[in-house]
A and B are shown apart, each in its own frame.
Chain A
Amino acid sequence: MSEVSLAQIEKDTVATMSETTWRYWLALGIALSLVALGGWAWSVALRQGLGITGLNEPVMWGALITTFVFFIGVSHSGTLVSAILFFTRSPLRAAIGRSAEAMTVFTIMTAGLYPIVHIGRSWLFFFVLPYPNQRQLWMNFRSPLTWDVFAITSYVTVSMLFLYMGMLPDLALLARQVKSWRRPLYRVLSLGFSGTDGEWRIFEKAYPIFAGVVIPLAVSVHSVVSWDFAMTVMPGWHSAIFAPYFVAGAIFSGIAVAVLLLSGLRRGYHLERYITPKHFDMLAKLLLAMSLVMTFVYATEFFMAFYRGSKAEMEVFRWRATGTYAPVFWGVVISNSVAPLALFWSRARNHLPTLITISVLVTVGMWFERFLFIVTTLARSFVSQNWGNYIPSWKESFICLGGFGWFLMLFLIFIKLFPCMAISESMQSQHAVDAAVTPEASHA
């Protein structure tokens, strides 16, 4: 970080909220269009039934569940990366932590919609919630879907609190600085936080505890989502590797999406001073590491299938690589395993267009990777008479696109309402940097 005055940090951050460029409106317009499209498609599904999707007899889960798993995955790295950077005292966190956390909250809010969209009777979704009712009925706590309900609601609650907690000092600061309608909003939301030394002590004690809660929760959530599949008996799903595989995949896709969001923010709001090549370099290294992990997982899956000798499982994996979806499979291998290898070269890591390209590939690749393992298992399970195929219908794809629009919309609204960089934390780390440059100043 170059020489930036503390006031400049605040000014630049406030600018992201108050100054609205044409790029912002364009992005918001696209987001809203996608939401409208997805909302319309969903309304058709609600009125007519899930027959409007491409789902069929063997393949009962498709693009909608893929999108759910994908967004849960993306949600992972935000909070997780932020919390891990916090514990490693990384100076990089200040600039990117907030957007990463916001990304988590909004992706999980998006992901949470999909189970509701994809069930046959969306209007009875409340059947999975624990509440005393006249039917005297409860949910089945043995079902991974029930675990999902708890895991996701816990995770979204905790992630929101985590985001909010980290934002308290900023909100307090802004409540005193900004005018207009924002002022009462920030005042209320800041919960009276004023930056007294006592509060800082409590804050600095509470925040690590919270971050400590967040990390295992984040790991558990994607494990639970993986258990939606691993707890079944289906070939290709029933595997102990699934939890770590999903967590790794989640971080992988999350980092890719974080790269895209950050580069967008940086470009849109000229935050080059804060979101620096160092950040991208770090993310690129992480991306590369996760890519290697994913490659290892893919190899392990195949190895296990053929080593174990289960006929059905061998067939699923053989078909995945050579059957109807073989082009998708090899596309996924290229985007998730081969393309990120370029990041071994520091020139690729520091060349933003390359990194963005790889991130886009990984984002798309991870969506299809989820699609593949969901669909190939279902289409090729035990009873060969039931083998089938699945292609998402247009309306179904619109609902999926709607999710991307929804996420983007929430994120864009967020950056207009709240600081997308941690002001307080940035000032703190800027000060630490300054102090390191002139050590005599701090220890006089």
Chain B
Amino acid sequence: MPEELVAVYADPDEALRAVLSLRDRGVSNAQVSSPAAFPVVHEVEHTGHSRALGWVALVGGLTGLACATALEVGTSKALGLIVGGKPIVAWTAFGVVMFELTMLFAGASNFLALAIFSAHSRRKVAKAVRDLVSSERIVVTVSLAGMDPKLRDAARGVLGGALAEVTP
């Protein structure tokens, strides 16, 4: 007895219809794996860290800013060389590198967050299921574990024709 229903759709719209009708029938734990961000992926209830991404980028950016400031002020003071009649700590001139490092760190931390959060979020879907995904295969899975038998039947009914055998 599989613990999970796996349905495969060639057409994103069909997958969307399936997900919507699952939701109509009270099945709310459907997962979608899709080759592209078709509308269907937005119709599934979602829990994740996506809200934190902005904050991560902000913190990353501020870290970059702090690093740049420390690097510029610290090294300039350590050397204490006068150039061009400018002060040792020349804020106007330092602004550029501060900006660049802020952006670099923000971008890099955003990317890292993406990688980590994605890895975290995909753990809910079995690897064998994810491997089914291709340009013509959008996979909808419904975990049956601990589910009301009525809902199980409803889910089976909706996904009916598209169900696929998955050997884990």
A-side residues, CB < 8 A to B, are 6-7, 9-10, 130, 136-142, 144, 146-147, 150-151, 153-154, 157-158, 161-162, 164-165, 169, 172-173, 176-177, 191-206, 209-210, 213-214, 216-217, 220, 224, 227, 423-425, 427-428, 431, 435, 441-442, 444
Contact = CB atoms under 8 A, between A and B. Distances in A.
B16 A442 contact: yes
A199 B94 contact: no
Nearest to B136: A7
B36 A428 contact: yes
A142 B85 CA distance: 11
B36 A431 contact: yes
Interface in B89-124: 90, 93-94, 96-97, 99-101, 103-104, 106-108, 110-111, 113-115, 117-119, 121-122, 124
A196 B31 contact: yes
A213 B100 CA distance: 10
B39 interface: yes
Contacts of B44: 197
A319 B72 CA distance: 40
Contacts of B96: 144, 147, 150-151, 220, 224, 227
A272 to B, nearest CB: 20
Nearest to B32: A197
Contacts of B16: 442
Nearest to A11: B135
A138 B100 contact: no
Contact of B106 (A146, A169, A213, A423): A213
B149 interface: no
B100 A220 contact: yes
A209 B103 contact: no
Interface string B1-36: 000000000001100110010000000000111111
Interface residues of B, number: 68
A141 B53 contact: no
B110 A198 contact: no
16 contacts: A141-B75, A142-B94, A150-B100, A153-B104, A164-B111, A173-B134, A194-B133, A195-B36, A197-B46, A203-B37, A203-B114, A210-B111, A220-B99, A220-B100, A424-B35, A428-B36
A176 B133 contact: yes
Contacts of A209: 53-54, 57, 110
B78 A424 contact: no
Contacts, number: 212
A213 B135 contact: no
B79 interface: yes
Contacts of A202: 48-50, 53, 114, 117-118, 121
Given A142-B84, A210-B111, A424-B36, A6 B135 contact: yes
B33 A141 contact: no
Contacts of B20: 444
B110 A213 contact: yes
Given A173-B134, A424-B36, A442-B39, 4 more contacts: A195-B33, A196-B124, A199-B122, A428-B38
A217 B61 CA distance: 12
B41 interface: yes
Nearest to B45: A197
A202 B47 CA distance: 10
Nearest to B54: A209
Contacts of A227: 96
A436 to B, nearest CB: 12
Q: Most chain-A Cβ atoms within 10 A of its Cβ — which of B17, B20, B104, B131?
A: B104
A169 B35 contact: yes
Contacts of B100: 147, 150-151, 154, 217, 220, 224
Contacts of A173: 35, 133-135
